[in-house]
Amino acid sequence: MKKLRLDILLSDTSPAHSLTRTRASSLIMEGKVSVNGNICTKPGTLVAPESSISIKETNPYVSRGGLKLKGALTDFNLGVKGKRVIDIGASTGGFTDCLLKEGADFIYCIDVGYGQLHYSIRNNDKIKNLENINIKYLPFEEIGEKLDLAVCDVSFISLKKVFPHIPKFLKDGGLILSLIKPQFEAENKNILKKGIVKDENIHKSIIDAIIEFSKTLNLMTIGVKKSCIKGKKGNTEFFILLSKDSETKDLKK
């Protein structure tokens, strides 16, 4: 059988194709990938598909979300040290954990679920954990201040139903860094089995639609980057960075 590049083979054979080729290459160069028991540090090494490949990867965050956000912060060259943040869709707390490690001053964790935030961070004095509440129904008084940054990772809902409720919590010029999950934005006809959206043209149309919708809220797009890690089922995901224009109309209801 024809040999393949190690980075390609690692990406293609990872569970649900969860590793991008870029992430696979990074792991290889960091010496975290072994082929038949031997560490290999060259992504272009040709390897037989039947080879035994193992990864020694330790996640420094409480969930994969932390790795995603760290990648986005790096891609956008965005620092959060000293920033006050709202984490929408906090769940286990991967984004929050990353923000804490990057020096954020304080984080409001918002989630519709209950009891999900990881025990290692839920009692941190830099966190206010607001559980069992939808951002759509969160009154400004619960936060009581204008923040520097909102991060967002939500599922089973379109960002178009979430974004209108974020600006009231941000300062003028405040930022939104949100994960775009195509499977929750695409029309049903464009979603394959297991909730996968593969067509890059659909990805582009989804991103363009979110950018245009954001303009109606006076949220200006700074940039869009592909997430360094795919979703659990193998979906390519994206991060969008937006800025709140000074004339943004805060939605009060």
User: Which pLDDT does position 208 carry in this prediction?
Assistant: 97
pLDDT tens, position by position, 155-193: 999 999 999 999 999 999 999 999 999 999 987 777 777
User: Which span out of 101-110, 114-123, 224-233 was modeled with the highest average pLDDT?
Assistant: 101-110
Pick the CATH number of 64-244 from 3.40.640.10, 3.50.50.60, 3.40.50.300, 3.40.50.150: 3.40.50.150
Angle CA 94–26–54, to nearest 5: 85
| pTM given for the model | 0.78
As a CATH number, domain 4-55 is 3.10.290.10
List pLDDT tens digits, range 60-69. 898 889 999 9
Q: Which residue has the higher pLDDT, 28 or 212?
A: 212
In the chain, where does the domain assigned CATH 3.40.50.150 lie? 64-244
Summary mean pLDDT of the chain = 90
Cα distances from 97 to residues 13, 30, 68, 102, 201, in angstroms, run 29, 23, 12, 9, 33
Residues of the chain with CATH 3.10.290.10: 4-55
